């Protein structure tokens, strides 16, 4: 199995079906080996994604293929090709946003009349109902009631599917955030974005397949026990540079000289190792890195966007409230267009134990317009049909008041809360699941995070029971031993 | 489902329709007779019996007999004979009833299983045993059968001594290892590769054993050494190098999911986690026998100490530090769940690292594949959860005793001087009081002080002198002081009796230490001295006052010095009261902590009530309002008192801001506490004073002899003085009671007893100063994160489905049934954790040595003989060379579990020293090189890459061990840390970018063998990262300044040698030479500058850092 060096015929394996084959230079070739490297054996051992995958494994004989990241063979019909996952970190109140409960207003200040009320979490809640500070009004054809926190998102309700009876296992932020992302309360398990990258790879030759913006929380980006190639790249982690170590510290010419000398030395070494695959892959990796130096800044460069687009997303130095989240959303659209598989955008600060009215309003102002513009933009570009959008928080908030500071707030509420989805394969204008009149307990259509994960993978064309990774002798799944498809919201 | 426009009632209808559609299943193709045995019984055992069998069945429903089915559960009948398919049981398993889906918390049964059930119910439950006893037996039988079957797996079998095969090969017949490997190769028709060239071998060995590259001088020396044992001597030199332990500790820390913070959003430090890291370095360098090392990890606190004479510490206890390295949520409110996760991490690590077993898979159910039951899991749970997480003092006894003997002696002399003076003071007080009580109003010595006190006492019934004040007032008014005293004394007695009765009704005494330490457990520097039934005297460490206080009976940590750190822990108790009050004294950020379910990271507001700083010179009640949350009630709890540095986890208020910030920030080691009573209560206020001091005084005075018509003032005064003098005498003897101690403390603080240095003679002052000097010389004691056995511990309840809220039976603490049986025999007297350690390091345990031998092999060859290094279970891979594995294992144990000898044995083989170039046959027939016909090429570990960059450029700081602190902060903003990668601070939420990029694990779970990935971020880092550029520039600068006259070719040669341990080929030299020209042109350098300008050379160094040869070992 001597590897050939440098010149090689491209394999069809790098292209999605139906995509025209482009001319392949060395750089593109190297780039196609995007992301990570597992030995063929390792991949065979570990990815047990059914027959489609096994059939494809025959193509692994081609030595340029060096990465599971480019495994492009879903086994189910593909309803969505990529995911944008909005995460409202801290606990967005479901009953102040999308789960309208008129009874709260009626019984404002009176004790909750619930026989099976759960124990309060912090010990600071009162038994008394707090009306939502926001009015709700109907939107769209379906007449969905949405609060005044989210008027722009409200305009899109006919494209959204609401899950109103989501339940979680933990009332604590950290384990609930972990659960929302990995389906496990424990640390060390891969996030849904990492699983998606592992399962579908990236179409972006010179961009990371999985990107997180707006947070550096490990639960959002972690690859867990999956190889590090599947960890999210954190965009805009510090300053304006999208990715670490992206900018050369020298002129392009000086770097080119270095790369040329390096290529010569590496070629000698590769020959000396009789074409060892490890070395060959490492050489190709340098080429990909070189390509990324240009591709990533290009993708993240918003100056190519029109003034109207920037304004629609709320971007501008004078638009303090929306500027940063708007930039994330617009960057996300540009990354999607370039084939990035999974993008998570985080807005933190929703943990309103007090000052609910003030701070939920502030947070919503930062998010509402950019998300609304993002949905409209995707739709206008015909991308929404093939993009799955998820808008989630780790839990909701209690209907009863918490008195912690001077202004009232609400406590954590994992027993029933709302997540919405939109885009590829999702039925629009649908509300699935029902909570009681306080939004406290699920009455029907209860789903949990495993169900959400199963459904997300399903829409991406992956059977969640088949997407496994062998780790310490066990096949792990994103959905563990759980996960039921949420059929009513699947179009 | 519902669509928005539908009303809720319509939703219900729609939902019901959907459910109805689900309930039709396929026909069942077995006879009614077979149906139960073949389909239903297994289904019931697997899915139902966990909760619905036996006497404690959930919801009162037993499904283990006909009677159980017929009786139904708390919510009525489960079977409807009239309409079987509509039976509640079937509705629940079909998930037709919201919130009551069965099996609870698990997947819906398969359609086929539901159809079977429906069919079976429709048939009238054929085959079900009538009597209810069978079920538990069925379940037990099921496990016993599984266990019997599964224990046949190869890994459970004893290690068999094996004779190596004979071999006829010029190179590969020298060692037993080679003969095993060769035999397998020849069987496959393969021949081994030839030996690696000596330069390659030197680089391979040096990097593998020390994680550092060979220096050019070492290359020269080795290449020039043609003696037969040159390689052997090289290996011995490398194994003896301190760098060996630094490199190999890295592998070990991966197993132990090492990190220095608790992770999650707050990511607080695990105090002094670095001491565990350094312990590993020292243990590997000292070649501590592996069985001892493992035993220390599990029960180092219970083993005889392993002294480190250089550091003067007990190393053993540091081994338990790995039980403290799990991540801990600081905002958890569900502490039982948090404990379950913490234990999962401990058991997972223990199972994988020491045994190659995935024991934690049995948390929610019996292991799906291996001979590990859920009961095994909870037997381990109780074993580990019984320990207390702490910062254990690691100093040797000699260090702990620093100054103790001399200070004790000095204190005896000081006490003698003080008590002598106090007797005089009390006599004078008697005189003064007599004068006061006779109505005199002059101002002789101490009279103004006394008079002020009496003035205060007059207004307060609680004042110790209240009755005396009444006597004085009567005397001043010309009335009978004795009668007034008697009347007031009676009022005091009534008040006291009332208080006593009320206290008795409202408070439950949970602990009283005045007579004995009870079941509480003392730890710290001098644990044996912590409790005294008698009294003691605490000297102030500084200031004008000599005595800090008189210590009554009970626990106190400051008997000799406030530096004598201590801890005190109660037994576990189920929390049943709303409030806990403790009578304590203490200061300098000592803490009272109510620990529930071993949850130490009490940062969340929900736990604020469970922690109190103690800040009181004299005993006072401190109340923990712990009962506002119902879920705390009934939880397994213990109370601990700890001095500042003994807190196992920091809170934000400790580490950041707040009144105790300074106390924590100062590293003097001062912190102390004392305690004599604990009470439980349901009303917020602590016990009211029962006026013991007042009673002592009035009762003594009332007992004075009656002369003539009554009691005179001087009788009362004399009585008071006599009580005081008796208390002083008792103090001198160390036998004062709690009340006497309180009396003297009151007198001291009131200024009625001498306590200022200036009030004593020079001799006494000298004694005090000497004692204080000695106090200053007591070191700040060293601690490490640890687990210690304290108290009786407990057997943990099995958690059904892994849910802490669903407890089952308690499981006695023990090790795995398959290895150690279920009944502890002669080990019964041991602490269960020590018994666990013994079971794991027992020579009869086939896994411990095998797993380690395989690890060492994998760290050297990049792959284990068992490829799944952390899983020897049935889902792991079988060994590629089982005889070789057992041969090495037997030899490892016979050689005293010496890791260094094992490494030496392996690297001195033809296999390890073979070339990395495979033969064509090997590439064709064994592409994964499982037969090891050649040496695999391996990429450097992240730390090794960093170390190589620093070492080659001459920038490496080789300092060993010690605290390094968070990046860019640990050095007080000084120059960046240039120490080895091992010493980079591991902040879990902000790990070093370079480490993560090159596959260093996150420290979340055990990693036996790192992935070796190739991702663009690595290349970007090597191309553009400032750290890499800095080292390249420093390297070039150093060369140009050290050897300014060197020719270009020689300099290229030198750089090449330093980076890669070899000379460049002519083609490589030519490439680099031309590269230098190109760069010089680009920089537009003239002829002179070309010789001196650093930039082209730094570029050349940077290119060398980027070569694949630099990054890999052949």
Q: Does A285 touch chain B (CB under 8 A)?
A: yes
For residue A345, the 8-state DSSP code is: E
- What is the pLDDT confidence band of residue B139, given thresholds at 50, 70 and 90? low
Query: Hey, which residues 181-220 in chain A have their CB within 8 Å of chain B?
Result: 185-188, 216-218
- Interface contact flag, B333 A122, Cβ < 8 Å: yes
Full-model pTM: 0.85
Cβ contact, residue pair B4, A35, below 8 Å = no
Closest partner residue to B1011 (CB to CB) among A222, A228, A446 is A228
Nearest-Cα distance to chain A for B22, in Å, is 13
The pLDDT confidence band at residue B710, using thresholds 50, 70 and 90, is low
Q: What contacts A259, CB < 8 A, 6 or more positions away?
A: A286, A290
Residue B967: its chain A contacts at CB < 8 A? Answer: none
Least confident residue range of A191-195, A483-487, B60-64, B455-459: B60-64
SS3 A392: strand
Mean pLDDT, residues A235-253 taken together: 80
Q: What are the tens digits of pLDDT across the range B388-430? A: 999 999 999 999 999 999 999 999 999 999 999 999 999 999 9
Helix, strand, coil content of chain B in percent (nearest 5): 50, 10, 40
Q: What is the pLDDT of residue B822?
A: 75
Q: How many CB pairs below 8 Å do chains A and B form together?
A: 268
Nearest C-alpha in A relative to B352: A472
Of B871, B939, B1002, the CB nearest to A473: B871
Q: Chain B closest CA to A225's CA: distance in Å?
A: 9
Q: What is the mean pLDDT of residues B1005-1010?
A: 92
Nearest CB partner across the interface for B1016, out of A1, A227, A288:
A288
Residue A1 to residue B924, Cβ atoms within 8 A: yes
pLDDT at B20: 35
Residues 335-354 of B with CB under 8 A from A: 337-338, 341, 344-345, 352
How much of chain B, in percent, has pLDDT values that exceed 90?
Answer: 66
Residue whose C-alpha is closest to residue B8's, from A433, A271, A423: A433
Give B9's contacts (C-beta < 8 A, 6+ positions apart): none
Contacts with A142 from chain B: Cβ below 8 Å: 3-5
CA distance B778 to B895: 42
Q: What is the pLDDT of residue B1017?
A: 86
What pLDDT does B76 receive? 83
Q: Are strands B313-314 and B307-308 parallel, antiparallel or unpaired?
A: antiparallel
* pLDDT surpassing 60 at residue B571: yes
Mean pLDDT of A185-214: 89
Q: What is the pLDDT of residues B533-564, one digit of tens each?
A: 999 999 999 999 999 999 999 999 999 999 99
User: What span, in angstroms and rounded, lies between the C-alpha atoms of A159 and B225?
Assistant: 78
**Among A144, A188, A258, beta carbon nearest to B1005:** A188
Question: For residue B320, is pLDDT > 80?
Answer: yes
> Mean pLDDT across the stretch B985-1003?
88
CB atoms within 10 A of CB B1111: 21
Three-state SS string across B1014-1051, please?
A: CCHHHHHHHHHCHHHHHHHHHHHHHHHHHCCCCCHHHH
pLDDT in tens, A432-460: 999 999 999 999 999 999 999 999 999 99
Flag if B997 and A222 touch (Cβ within 8 Å).
Answer: no
Packing angle, helices B1094-1106 and B1066-1082, rounded to 10 = 130
Interface contact B1108-A143, CB threshold 8 A: no
Encode pLDDT of A397-419 as tens digits: 999 998 877 889 999 999 999 99
Q: Do A142 and B1102 touch (CB under 8 A)?
A: no
Using pLDDT thresholds of 50, 70 and 90, give the confidence band for residue B321. Answer: very high
User: B1011: nearest CA in chain A?
Assistant: A227
Q: Looking at residues A40-45, what average pLDDT do you find?
A: 41
On whether any CB of chain B is under 8 Å from the CB of A442, the answer is yes
The Cα of B24 is separated from the nearest Cα of chain A by a number of Å equal to: 18
Q: Which residues of A touch B2 (CB under 8 A)?
A: 431-434, 444-445, 488
Q: What is the pLDDT of residue B126?
A: 83
Residue A108: CA count within 13 A, CB half-sphere: 7
pLDDT at A46 over 50: no
On whether any CB of chain A is under 8 Å from the CB of B46, the answer is: no
E strand or H helix at B675: strand B672-681
Question: Six-digit token pair at A433?
Answer: 């699941």
Q: Are B878 and B154 in contact (CB under 8 A)?
A: yes
Please choose, from the candidates B789, B797, B798, the residue with its C-alpha nearest in 3D space to the C-alpha of residue B832. Answer: B789
Q: Do A302 and A327 meet the contact criterion of CB atoms below 8 Å apart? A: yes
Q: Does B188 touch chain A (CB under 8 A)?
A: no
CA B517, distance to chain mean position in Å, is 26
Judge: A262–B1103 Cβ closer than 8 Å, yes or no: yes
DSSP state of B1063: P
Least confident of A55-64, A359-368, B193-202: A55-64
For residues A199-220, average pLDDT: 86
- Going from the C-alpha of B169 to that of each of B816, B913, B952, the distances in angstroms are 45, 15, 39
Minimal CA separation from B1004 to chain A, in Å: 5
Look over chain B and give the mean of its residue pLDDT values, rounded to a whole number. 89
A225/B1005 CB distance under 8 A? yes
Burial B137-156 (b: 16+ CB within 10 A, else e): ebbeebbeebbeebeebebb
The yes-or-no verdict on residue B783 having pLDDT over 90 is: yes
Residues B1044-1086 have pLDDT tens digits of 989 999 999 999 999 999 999 999 999 999 999 999 999 999 9
Band (pLDDT 50/70/90 cuts) for residue A2 is very low
**pLDDT-wise least confident of A241-245, A354-358, B377-381, B841-845:** A241-245
User: A-chain residues within 8 Å CB-CB of B1060?
Assistant: none
In this structure, how many other beta carbons lie within 10 angstroms of the beta carbon of residue B47? 19
Contact B108 A431 (CB under 8 A): no
- Partners of A213 in beta bridges: A235, A345
Q: Of A36, A243, A265, which has the smallest distance from its Cβ to B1013's Cβ?
A: A36
Which of B4, B338, B1007 best tests the A interface by mutation, with the highest count of A CBs <10 A? Answer: B4
pLDDT at A51 over 60: no
Lowest mean pLDDT among A96-110, A463-477, B364-378: A463-477
| Window A:130-169, CB contacts with B under 8 Å | 142-144, 157
DSSP string, A86-113: EEETT---GGGTTS--HHHHHTTTSBP-
Of residues B145 and B454, more confidently modeled: B454
Contacting residues of B for A119, CB less than 8 Å apart? 629-631
Task: Report DSSP state, residue B979.
Answer: B
Asked if residue B530 has pLDDT above 60, the reply is yes
Q: pLDDT averaged over chain A? A: 83
A174 contacts in chain B (CB < 8 Å): 264-265, 329-332
Q: pLDDT band at B657, cuts 50/70/90?
A: very low
Segment A47-70 shows an average pLDDT of 31
From chain A, the residues in CB contact with B1027 under 8 A are none
| Shortest CA gap B921–chain A (Å) | 10
pLDDT given for residue B306 in this prediction:
97
Beta strand spans in B525-662 (E): 531-532, 536-539, 547-551, 554-556, 566-569, 573-574, 579-596, 611-625, 636-642
Cα–chain center distance at B539: 35
Query: Measured between CB atoms, does B9 come within 8 Å of chain A?
Result: no
C-alpha A482/C-alpha A450 separation (Å) is 6
Scanning every residue of chain B, which has its alpha carbon at the shortest distance from the alpha carbon of A233? Answer: B1017
What pLDDT shows up at residue A8? 30
- Among A37-51, A144-158, A258-272, B1007-1021, where is mean pLDDT lowest? A37-51
- Torsion angle defined by CA atoms of residues B654, B660, B661 and B663, in that order, rounded to the nearest 10 degrees: -110
Does B11 contact A39 at a Cβ distance shorter than 8 Å? no
Partners of residue A286 in chain B, C-beta under 8 Å: 1019, 1023, 1106
Lowest mean pLDDT among B48-52, B69-73, B887-891, B1096-1100: B48-52
Q: What is the DSSP string of A174-212?
A: HHHHHHHHHS-SSSS---HHHHHHHHH--S-TTS-SEEE
Residue A11's pLDDT band (cuts 50, 70, 90): very low
Question: Which residue of A lies nearest to B1017 if distances are taken between CA atoms?
Answer: A289
Is residue B997 a contact partner of residue B942, using CB atoms and an 8 Å limit? yes
Inter-chain contact B1015–A266, Cβ cutoff 8 Å?
Answer: no
**Among A residues 75-94, those touching chain B with beta carbons less than 8 Å apart:** none
pLDDT for position B651: 60
Question: Is A244 part of the contact surface with chain B (CB cutoff 8 Å)?
Answer: yes
Please state the φ and ψ torsions of residue A82, each to the nearest 5 degrees. Answer: -155, 165
**Most confident by average pLDDT, B31-40, B215-224, B622-631:** B215-224
Tell me which residue in A172, A185, A431 faces B333 most closely, judged by beta carbons. Answer: A172
Chain B residue numbers with beta carbons less than 8 Å from the beta carbon of A281 are 1014
Residues 447-486 in A contacting B (C-alpha not used; CB under 8 Å): 472-474, 481-482, 484
Give B 884-923 residues with CB within 8 A of chain A. Answer: 916-918, 923
Q: Which has the closest alpha carbon to B819: B150, B119, B353, B2?
A: B150
Task: List the one residue out of B539, B534, B536 whose CA is nearest residue B551.
Answer: B536
Q: Which of A120, A283, A489 sits opposite B1108 (nearest CB)?
A: A283
Mean pLDDT of B347-366: 94
Distance of CA B172 to the CA centre of its chain: 47
Q: Which residue of A has its CA nearest to B1023?
A: A248
Say what the pLDDT of residue A17 is: 31
B635 interfacial to chain A (CB closer than 8 Å): no
Residue A14: its pLDDT value, please? Answer: 27
Q: Does A222 touch chain B (CB under 8 A)?
A: yes
- Per-residue pLDDT tens for B758-767? 999 999 999 9
Q: How many residues does chain A have?
A: 491
Calculate the alpha carbon distances from B364 to B106, B350, B396 in Å. 11, 18, 43
**Residue B654: pLDDT over 80:** no
Nearest CA among A278, A204, A61 for reference residue B1011: A278
């Amino acid at each position: 199995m001597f590897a050939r060096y440098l010149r090689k015929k491209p394999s069809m394996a790098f292209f999605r079906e139906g995509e025209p084959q482009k001319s392949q230079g060395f750089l593109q070739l190297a780039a196609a080996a995007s992301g990570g490297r597992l030995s063929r054996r390792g991949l065979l051992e570990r990815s047990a994604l059914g027959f489609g995958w096994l059939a494809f494994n025959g193509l692994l004989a081609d030595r340029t293929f060096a990465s599971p990241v480019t495994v492009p063979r879903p086994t189910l019909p593909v309803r969505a090709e990529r995911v944008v996952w909005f995460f409202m970190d801290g606990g967005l109140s479901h009953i102040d946003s999308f789960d309208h409960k008129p009874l709260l207003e009626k019984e404002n200040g009176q004790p909750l009349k619930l026989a099976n009320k759960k124990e309060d979490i912090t010990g600071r809640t009162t038994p008394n109902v707090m009306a939502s500070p926001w009015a709700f009004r109907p939107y769209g054809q379906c007449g969905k009631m949405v609060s005044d926190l989210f008027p722009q998102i409200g305009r899109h309700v006919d494209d959204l599917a609401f899950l109103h009876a989501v339940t979680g296992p933990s009332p604590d932020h950290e384990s609930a955030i972990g659960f929302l992302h990995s389906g496990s309360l424990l640390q060390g398990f891969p996030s849904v974005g990492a699983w998606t990258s592992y399962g579908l790879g990236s179409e972006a030759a010179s961009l990371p397949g999985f990107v997180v913006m707006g947070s550096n929380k490990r639960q959002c980006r972690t690859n867990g026990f999956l190889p590090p190639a599947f960890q999210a790249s954190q965009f805009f982690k510090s300053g304006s540079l999208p990715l670490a170590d992206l900018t050369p510290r020298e002129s392009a010419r000086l770097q080119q000289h270095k790369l040329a000398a390096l290529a010569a030395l590496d070629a000698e070494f590769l020959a000396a190792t009789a074409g060892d695959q490890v070395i060959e892959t490492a050489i190709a990796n340098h080429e990909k890195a070189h390509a990324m130096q240009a591709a990533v800044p290009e993708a993240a460069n918003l100056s190519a966007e029109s003034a109207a687009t920037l304004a629609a997303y709320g971007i501008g130095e004078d638009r303090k409230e929306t500027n940063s989240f708007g930039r994330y959303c617009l960057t996300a659209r540009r990354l999607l267009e370039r084939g990035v598989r999974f993008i998570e955008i985080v807005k933190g600060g929703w943990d309103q134990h007090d000052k609910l009215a003030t701070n939920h309003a502030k947070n919503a102002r930062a998010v509402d317009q950019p998300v609304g513009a993002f949905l409209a933009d995707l739709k206008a570009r015909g991308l929404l049909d093939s993009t799955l959008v998820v808008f989630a928080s780790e839990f909701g908030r209690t209907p009863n008041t918490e008195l912690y500071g001077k202004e009232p707030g609400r406590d954590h509420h994992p027993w029933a809360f709302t997540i919405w989805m939109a885009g590829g394969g999702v039925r629009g204008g649908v509300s699935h699941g029902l909570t009681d009149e306080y939004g406290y307990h699920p009455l029907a259509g209860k789903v949990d995070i495993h169900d959400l994960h199963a459904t997300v993978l399903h829409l991406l064309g992956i059977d969640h029971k088949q997407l496994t990774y062998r780790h310490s002798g066990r096949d792990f799944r994103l959905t563990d031993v759980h996960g039921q498809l949420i059929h009513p919201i699947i179009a | 489902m519902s669509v928005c426009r539908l009303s809720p009632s319509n939703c219900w209808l729609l939902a019901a329709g959907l459910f109805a559609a689900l309930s039709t299943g396929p026909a069942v193709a077995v006879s009614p007779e077979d149906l139960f045995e073949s389909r239903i019984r297994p289904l019931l055992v697997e899915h139902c019996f966990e909760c619905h069998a036996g006497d404690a069945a959930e919801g009162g429903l037993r499904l283990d007999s006909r009677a159980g089915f017929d009786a139904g559960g708390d919510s009525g009948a489960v079977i409807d004979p009239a309409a079987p398919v509509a039976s509640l049981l079937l509705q629940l398993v079909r998930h037709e009833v919201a919130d009551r889906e069965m099996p609870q918390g698990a997947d819906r049964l398969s359609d086929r299983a539901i159809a079977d059930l429906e069919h079976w119910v429709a048939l009238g439950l054929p085959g079900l045993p009538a009597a209810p006893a069978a079920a538990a037996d069925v379940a037990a039988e099921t496990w016993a059968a599984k266990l019997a079957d599964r224990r046949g797996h190869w890994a459970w079998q004893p290690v068999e001594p094996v004779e190596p095969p004979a071999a006829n090969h010029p190179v590969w017949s020298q060692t037993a290892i080679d003969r095993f490997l060769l035999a397998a190769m020849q069987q496959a028709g393969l021949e081994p590769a030839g030996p690696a060239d000596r330069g390659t071998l030197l680089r391979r060995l040096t990097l593998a054993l020390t994680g550092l590259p060979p220096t050019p001088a070492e290359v020269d020396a080795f290449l020039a050494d043609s003696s037969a044992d040159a390689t052997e001597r090289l290996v011995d030199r490398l194994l003896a190098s301190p760098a060996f332990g630094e490199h190999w500790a890295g592998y070990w820390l991966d197993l132990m999911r090492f990190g220095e913070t608790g992770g999650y959003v707050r990511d607080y430090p695990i105090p002094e986690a670095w001491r565990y890291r350094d312990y590993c370095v020292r243990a590997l360098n000292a070649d501590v026998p592996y069985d001892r090392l493992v035993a220390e990890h599990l029960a180092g606190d219970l083993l005889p100490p392993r002294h480190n004479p250089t550091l003067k510490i007990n190393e053993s206890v540091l081994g338990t530090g790995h039980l403290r390295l799990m991540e801990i949520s600081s905002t958890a409110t569900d502490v039982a769940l948090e404990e379950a996760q913490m234990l999962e991490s401990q058991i997972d690590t223990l199972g994988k690292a020491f045994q190659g077993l995935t024991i934690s898979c049995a948390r929610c159910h019996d292991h799906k594949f291996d001979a590990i039951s859920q009961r095994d899991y909870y037997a381990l749970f109780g074993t580990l959860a019984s320990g207390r997480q702490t910062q254990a003092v690691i100093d040797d006894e000699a260090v702990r005793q620093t100054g103790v003997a001399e200070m004790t002696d000095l204190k005896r002399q000081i006490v003698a001087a003080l008590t002598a003076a106090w007797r005089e003071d009390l006599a004078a007080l008697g005189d003064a009081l007599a004068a006061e009580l006779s109505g005199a109003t002059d101002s002789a010595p101490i009279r103004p002080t006394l008079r002020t006190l009496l003035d205060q006492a007059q207004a307060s019934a609680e004042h110790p002198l209240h009755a005396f004040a009444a006597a004085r007032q009567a005397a001043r008014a010309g009335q009978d002081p004795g009668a007034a005293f008697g009347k007031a004394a009676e009022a005091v007695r009534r008040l006291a009796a009332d208080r006593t009765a009320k206290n008795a009704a409202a408070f439950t005494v949970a602990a009283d230490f005045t007579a004995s330490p009870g079941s509480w457990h003392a730890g710290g520097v001098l644990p044996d001295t912590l409790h005294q039934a008698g009294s003691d005297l605490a000297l102030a460490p500084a200031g004008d006052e000599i005595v800090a206080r008189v210590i009554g009976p009970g626990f106190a940590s400051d008997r000799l010095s406030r530096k004598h750190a201590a801890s005190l822990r109660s037994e576990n108790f189920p929390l049943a009261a709303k409030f806990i009050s403790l009578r304590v004294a203490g200061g300098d950020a000592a803490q009272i902590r109510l620990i529930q379910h071993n949850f130490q990271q009490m940062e969340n507001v929900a736990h604020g009530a469970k922690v109190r700083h103690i800040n009181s010179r004299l005993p006072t009640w401190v109340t923990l309002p712990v009962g506002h949350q119902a879920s705390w009630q009934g939880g397994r709890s213990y109370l601990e008192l700890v001095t500042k540095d003994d807190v196992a986890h920091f809170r934000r208020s400790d580490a950041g801001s707040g009144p105790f910030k300074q106390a924590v920030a100062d590293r003097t080691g001062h912190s102390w506490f004392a305690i004599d009573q604990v009470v439980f209560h349901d009303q917020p206020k602590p016990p009211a004073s029962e006026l013991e001091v007042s009673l002592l005084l009035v009762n003594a005075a009332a007992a004075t002899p009656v002369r003539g018509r009554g009691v005179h003032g001087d009788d009362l005064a004399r009585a008071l003085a006599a009580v005081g003098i008796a208390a002083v005498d008792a103090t001198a003897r160390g036998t004062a009671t709690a009340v006497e101690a309180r009396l003297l403390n009151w007198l001291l603080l009131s200024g009625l007893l001498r306590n200022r240095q200036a009030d004593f003679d020079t001799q006494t002052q000298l004694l005090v100063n000497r004692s204080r000097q000695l106090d200053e010389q007591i070191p700040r004691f060293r601690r490490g994160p640890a687990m210690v056995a304290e108290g009786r511990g407990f057997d943990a309840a099995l958690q059904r489905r892994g849910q802490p809220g669903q407890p089952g039976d308690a499981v006695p603490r023990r090790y795995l049934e398959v290895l150690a049986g279920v009944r502890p025999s002669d080990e019964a007297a041991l602490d269960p954790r020590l018994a666990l350690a013994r079971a794991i390091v027992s020579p009869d345990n086939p896994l411990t040595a095998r797993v380690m031998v395989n690890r060492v092999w994998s760290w050297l060859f990049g792959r284990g003989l068992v490829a799944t290094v952390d899983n020897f279970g049935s889902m792991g891979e079988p060994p590629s060379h089982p005889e070789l594995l057992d041969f090495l294992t037997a030899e490892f144990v016979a050689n005293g579990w010496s890791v260094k000898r094992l490494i030496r044995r392996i690297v001195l083989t033809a296999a390890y020293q073979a070339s990395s170039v495979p033969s064509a046959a090997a590439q064709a027939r064994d592409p994964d090189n499982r037969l090891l016909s050649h040496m695999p090429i391996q990429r450097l570990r992240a730390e090794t890459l960093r170390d190589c960059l620093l070492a080659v450029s001459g920038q490496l700081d080789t300092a060993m061990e010690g605290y390094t602190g968070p990046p860019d902060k640990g050095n007080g903003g000084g120059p960046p840390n240039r120490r080895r990668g091992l010493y980079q601070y591991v902040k879990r939420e902000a790990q070093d970018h370079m480490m993560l990029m090159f596959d260093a694990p996150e420290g979340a779970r055990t990693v036996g063998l790192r992935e070796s990935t190739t991702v663009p971020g690595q290349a970007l880092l090597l191309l553009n990262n400032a750290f890499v550029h800095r080292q390249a520039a420093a390297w070039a600068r150093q060369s140009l300044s050290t050897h300014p006259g060197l020719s270009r070719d020689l300099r290229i040669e030198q750089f090449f040698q330093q980076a890669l341990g070899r000379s460049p080929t002519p083609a490589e030299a030519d490439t680099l030479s031309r590269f230098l020209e190109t760069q010089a042109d680009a920089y537009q350098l003239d002829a002179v500058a070309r010789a001196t300008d650093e930039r082209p050379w730094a570029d050349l160094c940077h290119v060398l850092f980027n070569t694949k040869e630099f990054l890999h070992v052949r």
